[in-house]
């Protein structure tokens, strides 16, 4: 289908082509079929191909989903803090988390070297600091917990090296890294094919039937039979409920602004601030900053933050404004050239779900990036390749999708109560009185009797109408004016402006209002 994950354009999409391949046709047999061509899927295929014969299927271009929207911090300084991981998973769990994320950075570096990739991979330090007036004891707690987890070289320094802004005490994490994700994954995809694997794009997987072999069916009628299937679609499209009650989808925002080359030291920067929109929730996301290569005398500073639940807020401009203001107070940025957003899946216990899908024998999943998608995705490739090949892996229990973390029960209850509250949208009025009120480029949910319609008027003035009911579990979708998409506030499914599914857990398009897409010309206006 080749639908993009949103209308905004990331730095990576602007500066590198998104790889396309031919769609799958006919009936094929492979040892392993990987569904999803982002960081998790391509890494898994790369590490398996050569030992087993692997196929990768993606309904869009490779890395064209949430992977293209990352800021590509490669870090063992985890968003949810090691002292929090200790409370949820014990000291041994925190140690394994640190070990696995460190190993993921090392594996990415090894792949870059193996393949000779020109993808901007560079090792650098990362700095974690508190906001002005923030609780400095958090840094001491994190330092002690990180060192107990085996990150012995983490140290407390007087300040992060931001010339024009005194951060106060900061934790320095050595041996972190960054890269250009699309250039990296384009090289990985080529290597999979050179090793004998098959990569298909424009191929939407409509069904997965566990068995010996597993049967994978596409919407176009093509079929793959495989001994094992890996579902690496950001949010699993093969599971209706189980995993989706244990994680929540958030939207995060990013700006890219010019800075004079050398005016900001090359490093990763993070703060411990809670976002104002989520200040009543523990573990709120914070700001994250890095540099990327620019042209000539300039670099691009990339700053992110402002997270909120997918489909539950409509103040994107305010969030960008707050993010820009925060960044200008700390860094000597010029004009903001890029703005984009992406989805982050937050597990209730802070770690990804990687392993055998609950209830299945030969189907595996990778989901729950928790803001560390590049390393969690690489961990997925390393762990899933071991599980499929029958090798022992000490991380398997920590990331097991079937795990139950009793200490995360309050977060489980809070997130699922939030989901239940979204069903009240069924009884609210429409966002506009009539679809006739929509201007070109606008979308809104319209009530028509007992039903709700997702109405979008394209730039040519043609009206497109679909059911506003998410085909996953029946929530009413919400219009995202930044990305020109329909977003589900319950479990984070997303659809293009004309109703095509672009992100799970939904795996079908928004239903047609009547036979064919309903289209109406723009009404005459006085």
- Of 347, 380, 407, the residue that ends a domain is 347
Q: What is the band of 275 on the pLDDT scale with cuts at 50, 70, 90?
A: very low
The total of structural domains in the chain comes to: 2
Angle between helices 373-389 and 39-48 (to 10 degrees): 30
Q: For residues 288 and 330, is the Cβ–Cβ distance under 8 A?
A: no
Return d(Cα 107, Cα 185) in angstroms, integer.
Answer: 13
Q: What is the band of 8 on the pLDDT scale with cuts at 50, 70, 90?
A: very high
Same domain membership, residue 299 and residue 171? yes
Same domain membership, residue 129 and residue 275? yes
Same domain membership, residue 297 and residue 441? no
Q: What is the band of 79 on the pLDDT scale with cuts at 50, 70, 90?
A: confident
Q: For residues 349 and 288, is the Cβ–Cβ distance under 8 A?
A: no
Torsion angle of the four alpha carbons 9, 204, 469, 233, in this order, in degrees rounded to the nearest 10: -60
Statement: the pTM of the whole predicted model exceeds 0.85: yes
Q: What is the band of 498 on the pLDDT scale with cuts at 50, 70, 90?
A: very high
What residues are paired with 209 via a beta bridge?
215
Same domain membership, residue 268 and residue 133? yes
CATH code for the domain of 442: 2.102.10.10
Q: Residue 422 falls within a domain, yes or no?
A: no
Return d(Cα 267, Cα 287) in angstroms, integer.
Answer: 14
Which residue range forms the structural domain that includes residue 481?
428-520
Question: Can the peptide bond before residue 127 be classed as cis, meaning omega within 30 degrees of 0?
Answer: no
Q: Residue 385 falls within a domain, yes or no?
A: no
Return d(Cα 322, Cα 114) in angstroms, integer.
Answer: 42
Could you report how far apart the first and last alpha carbons of the chain are, in Å? 39
Question: Can the peptide bond before residue 325 be classed as cis, meaning omega within 30 degrees of 0?
Answer: no
Same domain membership, residue 254 and residue 152? yes
Return d(Cα 204, Cα 312) in angstroms, integer.
Answer: 28
Same domain membership, residue 162 and residue 301? yes
pLDDT at 297: 67
Q: Give me the sheet containing 501-503, strands edge to edge.
A: 478-480, 485-487, 494-496, 501-503
Summarize pLDDT for 360-417 with one digit per residue, the tens. Answer: 999 999 999 988 999 999 999 999 999 999 999 999 999 999 998 655 556 545 555 5
Residue 476 carries which DSSP code?
B
Same domain membership, residue 451 and residue 302? no
Return d(Cα 437, Cα 479) in angstroms, integer.
Answer: 15
Residue 135 carries which DSSP code?
-
pLDDT at 422: 58
Same domain membership, residue 434 and residue 339? no
pLDDT at 221: 97
- Of 312, 328, 347, the residue that ends a domain is 347
Q: What is the band of 99 on the pLDDT scale with cuts at 50, 70, 90?
A: very high
Q: For residues 268 and 258, is the Cβ–Cβ distance under 8 A?
A: no
pLDDT at 526: 34
Return d(Cα 312, Cα 415) in angstroms, integer.
Answer: 13
CATH code for the domain of 148: 3.30.9.10
């Amino acid at each position: 289908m080749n639908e993009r994950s949103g209308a905004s354009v990331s730095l990576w999409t602007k500066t590198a082509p998104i790889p396309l391949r031919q769609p799958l046709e006919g009936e094929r047999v492979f040892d392993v079929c990987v569904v999803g061509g982002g960081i998790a899927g391509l890494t898994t295929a790369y590490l398996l191909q050569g030992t087993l014969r692997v196929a990768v299927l993606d309904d869009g271009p490779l890395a064209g989903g949430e992977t293209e929207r990352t800021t590509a911090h490669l870090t063992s300084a985890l968003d949810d803090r090691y002292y929090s991981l200790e409370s949820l998973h014990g000291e041994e769990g925190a140690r394994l988390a640190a070990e696995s994320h460190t190993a993921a950075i090392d594996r990415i570096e090894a792949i870059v070297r193996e393949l000779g990739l020109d993808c901007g991979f560079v090792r650098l330090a990362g700095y974690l600091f508190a906001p002005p007036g923030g609780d400095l004891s958090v840094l001491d707690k994190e330092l002690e917990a990180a060192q107990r987890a085996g990150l012995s070289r983490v140290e407390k320094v007087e300040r992060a090296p931001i010339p024009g802004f005194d951060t106060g005490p900061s934790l320095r994490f050595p041996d972190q890294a960054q890269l250009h994700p699309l250039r990296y994954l384009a090289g990985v995809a080529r290597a999979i094919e050179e090793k004998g694997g098959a990569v298909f794009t424009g191929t939407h997987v409509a069904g997965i039937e566990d068995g010996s072999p597993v049967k994978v069916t596409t919407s176009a009628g093509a079929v793959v039979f495989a001994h094992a299937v890996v579902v690496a679609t950001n949010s699993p499209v093969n599971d209706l409920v189980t995993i989706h009650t244990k994680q929540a989808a958030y939207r995060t925002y990013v700006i890219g602004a010019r800075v004079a080359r050398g005016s900001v030291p090359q490093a990763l920067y993070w703060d411990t601030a809670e976002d104002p929109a989520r200040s009543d929730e523990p573990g709120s996301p914070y700001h994250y900053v890095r540099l990327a290569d620019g042209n000539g005398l300039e670099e691009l500073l990339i700053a992110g933050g402002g997270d909120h639940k997918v489909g539950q807020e409509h103040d994107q401009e305010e969030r960008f404004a707050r993010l820009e203001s925060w960044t200008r107070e700390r860094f000597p940025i010029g004009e903001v050239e890029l703005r984009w957003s992406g989805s982050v899946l937050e597990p209730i216990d802070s770690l990804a779900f990687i392993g055998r899908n609950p209830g299945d024998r030969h189907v595996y999943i990778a989901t729950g990036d928790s803001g560390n998608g590049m390393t969690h995705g690489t961990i997925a490739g390393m762990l899933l390749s071991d599980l499929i090949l029958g090798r022992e892996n000490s991380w398997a229990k920590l990331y097991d999708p079937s795990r139950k973390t009793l200490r995360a029960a309050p977060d489980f209850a809070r997130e699922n109560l939030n989901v239940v509250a979204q069903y009240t949208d069924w009884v609210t009025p429409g966002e506009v009185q009539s679809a006739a009120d929509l201007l070109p480029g606008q979308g809104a949910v319209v009530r028509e009797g007992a039903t709700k319609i997702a109405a979008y008027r394209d730039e040519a003035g043609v009206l497109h109408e679909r059911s506003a009911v998410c085909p996953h579990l029946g929530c009413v979708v919400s219009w995202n004016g930044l990305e020109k998409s329909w977003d589900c506030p319950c479990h984070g499914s997303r659809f293009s402006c004309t109703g095509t599914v672009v992100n799970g857990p939904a795996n079908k398009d928004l239903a047609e209002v009547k036979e064919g897409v309903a289209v109406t010309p723009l009404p005459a206006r006085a």
